[in-house]
Each structure stands twice: as C-alpha cells, then as structure tokens.
Amino acid sequence: MHMPQRLVVLGSTGSIGHSTLDLVERNPEALVVYALTAHRNMRKLFGQCVKFKPALVVVSEPQHAIELQFNLTAAGLSTEVLCGVDALCAVAAAQECDTVVAAIVGAAGLLPTLSAATAGKKILLANKEALVMSGALFMKTAAESGAKILPVDSEHNAIFQCLQGVENSVRDVERLILTASGGPFRTRMLSSFDGVTPTEACAHPNWTMGRKISVDSATMINKGLEIIEARWLFDIDAGYIDVLIHPQSIVHSMVVFQDQSVLAQLGNPDMRTPIAHALAYPRRIDSGVKPLDLTSLSGLTFEKVSLVRYPCLALAMNVIREGGTASAILNAANEVAVEAFLENHIRFSDIPGVIEETLQLVPAVALNSIDDIIALDAQTRRISREIIKSRFA
C-alpha cells in the first residue's frame, strides 16, 4: 500500500464523507485526499477543497462544475473539476488512488463503487445499496479483480472485527446477530404514525446520519438492507442472520460461534470508529471518538423486533427469501417512497404501502447483468412514482 494512503471520497459532503475527512485531518502522515465528489452542496465541497487540496473533484451538474472550477482557480488551487457519472467511475478507478470510500447514498453509488471494484481498489463500503442491488455480481467482480472490501456500516464492521482469525467461517460460525437501535419510533404509539414529520423521522436517538438512512432506520428497512449486505459480505445464508433491538447502540453486532462463544464489538456510536478501522486495517489509528465509559452506562438491553411496528422490515425479509432482482426492486421503491415522504408528498405510514405495491407490479427475475439492474432500477422508480401520483396526488 502506498504511504500515505491516497483516498477518493465518493460523497464527501455527506455524513460518512465528513467523518472520513475528519480522520484524514487527524492522521495526515497516513492519509491524503486524491479526489472528492459531491452532488449539490458546492459550498461545503469548496471548503473541503481549500482544506484538503484534492487533485480532482467530481460534481453532478455541469453548471456547478463551471462555477466551482472558477472559484477554485480564483482561490489559487490547481484542483480540476469534472462532472457526471463517467467521471465518478473514472476517479474511483484512477491509478493515483489506493482506497475508495464509497459514501454516496442510494443507487447513485452503484456504478462508481462497482468501478472501484473492477479496478481492484481497497473499498471502504458505506453504500450498502450497491450490494442490495447487485450483491452477487458485485462480490464476483471484487473477487476477480482482487478488490478488498472493508465494511464501514457499523454492524458489518463489528462482525468483520469479530471474524478476525476465523479460518473457516462456514464451519465455525453459527449465527450473525445484527443489532438495531429501533430508531426514533421504537416506543411511539402506533396509532400516531400517520402524523410523523420528516424532522421527527430524521432525529435518530443515537446516530447523526444523512436523511435517507435516517428514515430507513425509522422504518427499519435499513436493517433489512443490512441483512442483505451481510449475506453478501460474509457469504452466509440470510437464514443464519438475526436482528435484535439494542436501544443503546453500544454493541454494534455479534457473532455466535459453534461452541456458543459470542463475540461482540462495542464502542460509542460514532462512525469514525468503523471508518478508522477500515482505513487503517489491519492496524489502528486515532479516531477522535470519545472513550466508552462502561460504568456510566445504565445497562445494555436487547429485545425482539416487532414486524407490526416495522412493516418495511417484514417486506425486506420477504424479498430476501425471493432472491434475484427482488432486493433491487425493494431498494428503488424505498428510495422513491422515502424521497416522497421527505418532500411531504406522502405520510411516513404510506412508505410500506408504496414498496409493497411496487413489489406486486414489478416481477423479480434472476440477476444477469449490471445493465439489467440499472434498467430495472429506472423502471421500478417510474412505477413507484406512478403509484404515488395515482394514490396521493
């Protein structure tokens, strides 16, 4: 590995991107930025460019690219501004990059993350949607190129840590236990779910995250996506993966072994820990995270999940049983429904209905190619939008 490690941060203006750059600042001898990418937040991206002086940045809109290039040049920076999906894929595969932090939210992250996988990069995978959409193809691509995938999602990073030194996980592991906080509505009256506002849904009790994943945590479809993610990352049948609600978010996940040893990874809920772990792996670096004071914890509790409270999790579990492209359909429908909820077009309690109806209208088939997945994603979004238009306009 090149020293310092040269990073491409896909989605640098988001929550994971922000935490990653905090770690770069703390560990300047070990980490340096080669490229940053962002969708629309040009002010934040400009500030990051001034601080980290990347060789390249990529944005989505041509007009933004022109303006940002002008402002960066005026500020005396030699950063080059590129635009569009092809540019995202190119920087993710660039020779000057050692490590790609895949932190774009949603399906938009699939192609650039896959490009990094094809190029054999070390990938810090936050963008779980890439695996949900294309798990088998994605893992095959990484295996063929020798890309090293290090999970950043806290649960998967915890499991990855617990599996260190395990030579044969198929033989030795009995179950994986994903912990879930239960989100902001774990104890809210079910009858009041119709009135949930976007602000309430995004106010996660333990984690500060982007808006889409915050809503996913409130519906707990996030945990369904994470079962799929774990299934592919650890090559384990989803039937061996359990979910437990752990409201304190201190135990980030667990592995149960054949001999009934249960290993867990603990820490304060701060994404800088799993990102730091994945950046430095197999070594450790300073993360800036507050030490875990075990004596100050009131207790660590675990509960079963109610699928009545979290119907989106039930839908995700059905999709896992179905296989093929079903999870890509679920993902697209969820992204459309969450966006519609955040824009106040539908209620929080309408999200599962939109996903369910979409799943009924779009048949799942075997997964053949990435082109098929991209086309299916677009088709599914159109259908979900139609459903929303016809039911809620």
| 104 lines the binding site for ligand NAD (CB under 6 A) | yes
| 99 near ligand NAD, judged by CB under 6 A | no
- Residue 306 as a binder of ligand NAD (CB under 6 A): the answer is no
Burial class (CB in 10 A: 0-12, 13-18, 19+), 122: buried
* Contact characters 228-267, ligand NAD, x per CB under 6 A: ----------------------------------------
Q: Is 229 in the site for Mg ion (CB under 5 A)?
A: no
Question: How many Å apart are CA 219 and CA 41, to the nearest integer?
Answer: 27
Task: Kindly state the smallest distance separating residue 271's Cβ from ligand NAD, in Å.
Answer: 4
210 forms part of the interface with ligand NAD (CB under 6 A): yes
Q: How far apart are CA 98 and CA 116, in angstroms?
A: 10
Helix 154-162 to helix 272-280 angle, to the nearest 10 degrees? 50
Looking at residue 383, what DSSP letter applies?
H
Of 51-70, binders to ligand NAD (CB under 6 A) are: 60
Residue 124 neighbours by CB under 8 Å, 6+ apart: 20, 99, 100, 101, 102, 103, 150, 152, 275, 278, 279
| 280 CB neighbour count, 10 Å cutoff | 17
Q: Which stretch binds ligand NAD (CB under 6 A): 12-20, 116-124, 256-264, 294-302?
A: 12-20
Closest CA to 376 of 132, 205, 158, 184: 132
Instruction: Please report, in angstroms and rounded to a whole number, the separation of the first and last CA atoms in the chain.
Output: 54
Least spacing, CB of residue 348 vs ligand NAD, in Å: 18
Residue 289 near residue 329 (C-beta atoms within 8 A): no
12 vs 79 by CB, closer to ligand NAD = 12
- Bridge partners for 179 per DSSP: 244
Question: To which H or E segment does residue 58 belong?
Answer: strand 56-59
**Tokens (6 digits) for 309:** 């409270």
Q: According to the binding rule CB under 6 A, does residue 87 interact with ligand NAD? A: no
Q: How far is the CB of 239 from Mg ion (least distance, A)?
A: 20
* Smallest distance, ligand NAD to C-beta of residue 38, A: 4
Q: How far is the CB of 133 from ligand NAD (least distance, A)?
A: 11
Q: Which of 35, 38, 173, 315 binds ligand NAD (CB under 6 A)?
A: 38
Q: Residue 110 interacts with ligand NAD (CB under 6 A)?
A: no
Regarding 209 and contact with ligand NAD (CB under 6 A), the answer is yes
Max CA separation in the chain (angstroms): 63
Task: Report the alpha-carbon distance of residue 333 to residue 245 in Å, rounded.
Answer: 25
Chain-centre distance of CA 117, in angstroms?
16
Closer residue to ligand NAD (CB): 212 or 223: 212
Interface pick for Mg ion out of 98, 153, 216, 339 (rule CB under 5 A): 153
- Strand partners for 80: 56
Interface with ligand NAD includes 23 (CB under 6 A)?
no
The reply on whether position 340 binds ligand NAD by CB under 6 A is no
Binding range to ligand NAD, per CB under 6 A, among 126-134, 167-175, 255-263, 376-384: 126-134
Is 268 among the residues that bind ligand NAD (CB under 6 A)?
no
How far apart CA 154 and CA 289 sit, in angstroms, is 14
Q: What six digits make up the tokens of 12?
A: 């640098």
Residue 21 interacting with ligand NAD (CB under 6 A):
no
| Residue ranges in contact with ligand NAD by CB under 6 A | 11-17, 38-39, 41, 60, 103-105, 108, 126-129, 153, 207, 209-210, 212-213, 271
